[in-house]
Amino acid sequence: MNILMLITLATAFFPAKQIITVNGPIDANSLGVTLAHEHVLVDFIGADKTNESRWDKTTVLNKVVPYFMEAKQAGVQAVVECTPAFLGRDVRLLKMLSDKTGIQFITNTGYYGARSNKHLPSWAFTETAEQLAARWIEEFEHGIDGTGIKPGFIKISVDGPTNGLTDIHKKLVRAAAITHLKTGLIIFSHTGPARAAFEQLDILKEMKVKPDAFVWVHAQAEKDKTMHIRAAKMGAWVSLDNVGVNNEYYLEALTGLKEAGLLHRVLLSHDAGYYRPGEPDGGDFRGYTEIFKLLVPQLKEKGFSEKDIELLLVKNPAEALKI
């Protein structure tokens, strides 16, 4: 038996690495061009008031589908939809949107603690990290809100005050760690400045979670770009979101990461969209194409290759999200 046959037989016993979309699991290698942090609908009214009766799905679809079709024409094949529970997460809407556009959407489990805990359900204040994790693991194992649609990542959020994370935000990080260890789902944490990112990484280390299970969301909020390099060297993912018209910061940050040989730890997105229930026509809505229309040409002018672009928009998201 030759070596090729041995390899073929061996790999037949190990399933391909998968990514969980609202349509079910797919082979990670088939994900394609992916935006790593976007939103469809976000409801800022608060955890105690938000519910799906506040918006009409058909009305939302009529508003947002053209933007996603424009993104699809630009090459987008998948979107990491980062709206968490109690902030407007609507997995039925995402499934309808995927069916209409042909784009894969990845939804999440977890809770959002930033904005002074306004978007946390009441039990998040009283339950233990283990109890919160049990809720999130239940969604992974059995689906969200009776839909059978499962999360493809964990989304948490912390405030980053100068005196460190609050106890409840530390609890969210620990709950995310427990959920990751049980499910394999990666942790996307809305963070901002570096201090909060490294404090979270310390907690994860205590809980035997490797840095490559952590995405530092909104790393562009950190002015000291050497902190990106430090986090990436540890193995964490550095997510540079809010890419738009003024991209000088992103160009400098990406150039520094490339020169350090760390471009393989970077994710990119617009953090765009935001249909807002209660506002006329859903409020101001931002599309998802500026990376392709503006940033990619600017990167090429700086000497980034097609391989570099593919790494940022195809290979890195697939590597981060695979189970």
| Tokens linked to 176 | 């995310």
Per-position pLDDT tens, the chain of length 323: 444 343 344 344 445 699 999 999 999 999 999 999 999 999 999 999 999 999 999 999 999 999 999 999 999 999 999 999 999 999 999 999 999 999 999 999 999 999 999 999 999 999 999 999 999 999 999 999 999 999 999 999 999 766 789 999 999 999 999 999 999 999 999 999 999 999 999 999 999 999 999 999 999 999 999 999 999 999 999 999 999 978 999 999 999 999 999 999 999 999 999 999 999 999 999 999 999 999 999 999 999 999 999 999 999 999 999 99
Q: Please, are residues 317 and 266 in contact by the beta-carbon 8 Å criterion?
A: no
Using DSSP, state whether 215 is helix, strand or coil: strand
Query: Which pTM value belongs to this model?
Result: 0.94
Please say whether the beta carbons of 156 and 111 come within 8 A. Answer: yes
Exposed e or buried b per residue across 176-190, where buried means at least 16 C-beta atoms within 10 angstroms of its C-beta = bbbbbeebebbbbbb
CA–CA gap between residue 90 and residue 299 (Å, rounded): 35
Q: Which amino acid is at 170?
A: K
Cβ atoms of 178 and 213 closer than 8 Å: no
CA torsion through residues 137, 142, 145, 147, sign: positive
Amino acid at position 147, single letter: T
Long-range contacts, stretch 303-311, CB < 8 angstroms, 24+ apart: 304/254, 304/258, 308/258, 308/263, 311/263, 311/264
The rounded distance, in Å, linking the Cα atoms of 239 and 157 is 14
According to DSSP, the β-strands at 18-21 and 24-27 are: antiparallel
Domains located in the chain, CATH noted: 18-321 (3.20.20.140)
